[in-house]
Structure 1
Amino acid sequence: MAKYTKKEVLEEAHDLARKMASMEEIERFKQLEAKLNESTKIQSTIKKIKALQKQAVNFQAYGKEEALKKVEKEIDRLQAEIDEIPIVQEFKDTQVVINDILQLVTNTIAREITNEVIRSTGGDVLAGTTGSSKNEHC
């Protein structure tokens, strides 16, 4: 089995990241994000939400429960307004897909590293045990 340096592995990781960045799902995400950034209505509503969130933090810090409830209700209303816009929902759906892909890649790498350790020590991949316990009984 070939040995790799940390630098070589990181270069492969960068290469994988470049490949993933050009995937259809990520290209679509970038297009949607650009459209969202161009929408003055969406950007204006996001600014309002952020300003209200700052107010909410202040109201919470000063124990102003009634004012906090009002602000939180308005934040929820504005968020619901944004969420009704089809492009926003598509953007969120695309985020979920991308996160799922990233999780799949991460889990695959972790699983394969574990399996390689098991194989390289003469262990049993199906049982999930390394060969090191066999060698201790010699």
Structure 2
Amino acid sequence: MENTYTKHEIIEKAKELAEMIAQTEEVDFFKRAEAQINENQKIREKIASLKSLQKQAVNFQQYGKERALGLVENKIEQIEKEIDEVPIVQEFKQSQVEVNQLLQLVSNTIANNVTNHIIESTGGDVLRGETGSMVRNAPGGKK
């Protein structure tokens, strides 16, 4: 007979998996890159002015000041471009992508394996993605 697990036991295993993911090279690089960005005075100044301009943009939008909004949006775009051109920012963004890909890979692996296990345990067809009851109840299937 197969083991039956509780939600609590599964959550505990998920926490163990999260701990493992948090200790990967990808996450380590992400943390170091973020720290370097936060320690960089020029980037901090650009981010501060970006936030200020974004607040102005919201106000101009609320009050229908289209021309002023357009000017502020251009400044925002310019500062974002300047920030994005800093090598450590590019590396940070790349590390975000890599961490997200790792999380997506784990999520997809779990989903696919659960699905395959259900199919196999019901005597289904993994290649066709059908559970045993689908195979048995299909036209011409085994009854």
TM-score for the superposition, normalised by structure 2: 0.91
Where does residue 127 of structure 1 map in the other structure?
A: 128
The SS at the match of 1:128 is: coil
Taking the aligned partners of 1:134 and 1:18, their CA distance within structure 2 comes to 40
- Taking only the aligned residue pairs, the percentage that are identical comes to 54
In the other structure, the counterpart of 2:27 is 26
- 2:40 is matched with which residue? 39
Matched length? 138
Quick check: 2:50–2:79 contact (8 Å CA) kept in 1?
yes
TM-score normalised by structure 1 residue count: 0.94
The answer to whether the Cα contact below 8 Å between 2:125 and 2:135 also exists between their aligned partners in 1 is: no
- Alpha-carbon separation, structure 2, partners of 1:60 and 1:48: 18
Unmatched 5+ residue regions in structure 1? none
Cα RMSD (Å): 1.3
Instruction: Tell me, in whole angstroms, the C-alpha distance in 2 between the residues paired with 1:25 and 1:107.
Output: 18
Secondary structure at the aligned position of 2:5 is classed as coil
Q: Would you say the 8 A contact 2:43–2:83 is kept in 1?
A: yes
Which residue identity is paired with 2:8?
K
User: In 1, are the aligned partners of 2:26 and 2:98 still within 8 Å (CA)?
Assistant: yes
Task: Structure 2: state its 5+ residue gaps.
Answer: none
